[in-house]
Structure 1
Amino acid sequence: MAGSDGEYKVADTQARFAVAVREGRPVNDVSWTPGRVLLSNRRLILASNDGKRTVPLSQLNGLGGRHDANQSITRVSNYVSFDLGDQVLIVAAADHESFERDVYRALLDQRTLMAKHPAVAGGVVQESEWQQARVKIDENGLGAALEQGAFVEFDLDDISGLDAAKRTVDGKKKPVIEVSHTDGDGTSIETHLAGSSQRMRFVEAWLRKGEERSTTNVDLSSRDREVLMALYSGVSPFEIPAFLGIDVDVVEETFERLIELDVVEEVRVRREVTLNSRGRNIASEAMNEQ
């Protein structure tokens, strides 16, 4: 699929696909077609025994969203929807997460945006200038290589907020996405990204996945929240029992639950030991020798 015009292959996978919306109306009798999906940085090709359909990526209005018009679609837990305006195609790949990431790679990898970084740091507005940024998609999120040499990482697990607005960038009104995340030192910052309407729709859709991950719809108990707030305030995990007046075993159980909820990460396990009879004898002899 590589071409002299800079086209290159991004993905080649087995999948099922269907038309969920035709002429602006949901299709009630949707049927899945098994086949092969080829994806480049320029086009999407759906190939089956019935023929081949090519969709230029430049025709895409958006990605995502479910179109569960009937049971045959509802039963499929994961698929990517391609919004072409009056028509929506849906593709359920064998490896959904990998294919979805490849779609965003095809749309955004090596494309340029404008970035203001940091626009806000620690709650204080910065005097940063807009500069060009080259984008790269990876499994953790989005990276942006800035014109002045810095590299900004937007880890999907680190994105705490996302706001879309219109701002004046280099004298022109452009769509801007304000991304709340943290820098390498753990400082809360905002980075602002700007670009064409179509490109920013895809950037926003990809980064929204991070915001969704960090939403607070996790089922936390009051004890869980106490422990989280203590950690956020800088209290050492080992000091939390004394700080909150809670038994060590209860805190350990809370840590286990928070790890399962993917709210905290285990750094190391502290060992709790007690002397046995041999140890007590050795310790006693050592004390007598002093």
Structure 2
Amino acid sequence: MQEETRWHAKTMSETVIADFVARFSLDTAEDPEPVRGRIVLSQKRLVLATGGSKTTIPLAAVFDVSVGHVPDELESFFNDTLTVAYERDHGRHTAVIEAGTEEVGQFKTLLFKAMLSGTPVRVKHPARVGGRVTDGEFEAGKIRIQPGRVEFCGVSEPFEVELSAVTYFQKQRREVGGDERTVVAIRHASEGQTVTSEFAVASKHKLNLLGRYFRLEYSEVAKEAERVDTSEREMEALVAIYSGASSGNLAGALGIDAGSAAMLLSDLEEKDLVDDDGERLSLSPAGKMLVSDRIEKVNT
């Protein structure tokens, strides 16, 4: 009780962002089997506590966060999880937290927000529109983490990137402010166009974490897109839908009869590449990624 009182007094000087009960496992513990305890997140630290012990992880020590991935030796114990990798005593360790799907999703956003919101960034947006390279320059701004998106603030034209709209992710070397630096290039949908934005963060540690946040949905969509085989005609249909074709004029756009267009559309829906709500056609995230890759190949 005395230990918990001291811990509570320390966190009173910080804003508590999240406080809930869940199961967790620490690779520093003698027994890796999960225990039930209290998870508290503040602006500076993550605390995992049980009745008899407490582990404090400074957010500055966290170098990676993954959702759904569990170390092999713990797979039999967990379902919906968030794994926090951190450095301590010249070593690398992990804490695996398990909760409901909704809780894990909310906590993930809060954790990245605590670690990254307000971070200074140099960003060029757009660096490319479709396949056309722009004459834009890198601007100084700040990032703000929100559920499912990243906002870039303080630049001449603030913008946001939806995680589900990211169809390309790669680290590159670019000249930024006269120095060659590592930047992250992302291709995403913006106002009906495919654009590429590039950004650099002075801290390599935070650049990696920001890249991880962008990849949370991108990685899953990329795996889904890789598993799908599409014919040339199906790709033509996806590009046509991306360009605004509807179920009513898809046949005309492709130069085929209505029956063939209906069968083609049905196949694309079965492959989860197209959504049809009865009023309009739209591409699924995997469909957008396939089209984005096709457009990039055509323009290079």
- TM-score scaled by length of structure 1: 0.77
Mapped to 1, the partners of 2:124 and 2:12 lie a distance apart of 34
1:192 and 2:198 are equivalent in the alignment = yes
Q: Measured at CA, do residues 67 and 29 of structure 1 come closer, stay the same or move farther in structure 2, by a change above 3 Å?
A: farther
1:154 to 157, 161, 167: 161
Q: Which runs of 5+ in 2 are unaligned?
A: 1-10, 282-300
Measured after TM superposition, the shift of residue 246 of structure 1 is: 4.1
After superposition, the Cα gap between the structure-2 partners of 1:110 and 1:265, relative to the gap in structure 1 and judged at 3 Å, is: farther
Q: CA deviation at 1:58?
A: 0.6
CA distance in 2, matches of 1:134, 1:237: 42
Distance 2:160 2:220 in 1: 17
RMSD: 2.8
- Amino acid in the other structure paired with 2:176: V
Report the equivalent of 2:240.
230
Alignment-mate amino acid for residue 105 of structure 2: E
Contact 2:269 2:275 in 1 (8 A): no
- For 2:195 and 2:124, how far apart are their aligned partners in 1? 11
The answer as to whether partners of 1:82 and 1:88 remain within 8 angstroms in 2 is yes
1:104 aligns with 112
Using the alignment, how far apart are the partners of 1:105 and 1:269 within structure 2? Answer: 35
Distance 1:74 1:151, change over 3 A: farther
In structure 2, the partner of 1:91 is: 97
Number of corresponding residues: 257
1:46–1:225: structure 2 CA closer, same or farther, 3 Å change rule? same
Q: Distance in 2 between matches of 1:189 and 1:252?
A: 27
Give the match for residue 40 of structure 1.
42
User: TM (normalized to structure 2)?
Assistant: 0.75
Task: Kindly indicate whether residue 229 of structure 2 is the aligned counterpart of residue 217 of structure 1.
Answer: no
Give the percent of matched residue pairs that are identical in Structure 1 and Structure 2.
21
1:269-280 superposed matches below 5 A: none
Asked if residue 69 in structure 1 is aligned to residue 72 in structure 2, the reply is yes
Aligned residue type for 1:53? T
| 1:6-65 Cα shifts (integer Å, max 9, x gaps) | x42221122111123x5xxxx895211111111122110111112222111011122227
The structural deviation recorded for 1:179 is 0.9
2:127 to 119, 126, 129: 119
- Residue by residue over 1:89-136, the C-alpha shift from the partner in whole angstroms, topping out at 9 and shown as x without a partner, is 211133221111221111112222111111112222222222222222
Q: What's the counterpart of residue 182 of structure 1?
A: 189
| Structure 2 CA distance for aligned equivalents of residues 64 and 166 of structure 1 | 25
Cα distance 1:67–1:249, how it changes in 2: closer, same or farther (>3 A)?
Answer: closer
Task: Tell me the CA shift for residue 192 of structure 1.
Answer: 0.7
Deviates more, 1:127-136 or 1:215-224: 215-224
Aligned residues of 1:28 and 1:69 also touching (Cα < 8 A): no
Q: Distance in 1 between matches of 2:108 and 2:81?
A: 8
**Alpha-carbon deviations, 1:222-275, whole Å to 9, x = none?**
4754532331354332112454324275366447536xx2643637279xxxxx
| Helix, strand or coil at the partner of 1:203 | helix
Correspondent of 1:244 among 240, 256, 270: 256
Task: Tell me the SS of whatever aligns to 2:219.
Answer: helix
Could you tell me which amino acid in structure 2 is paired with residue 69 of structure 1?
D
Q: Report if the CA contact (8 A) 2:57-2:86 is conserved.
A: no
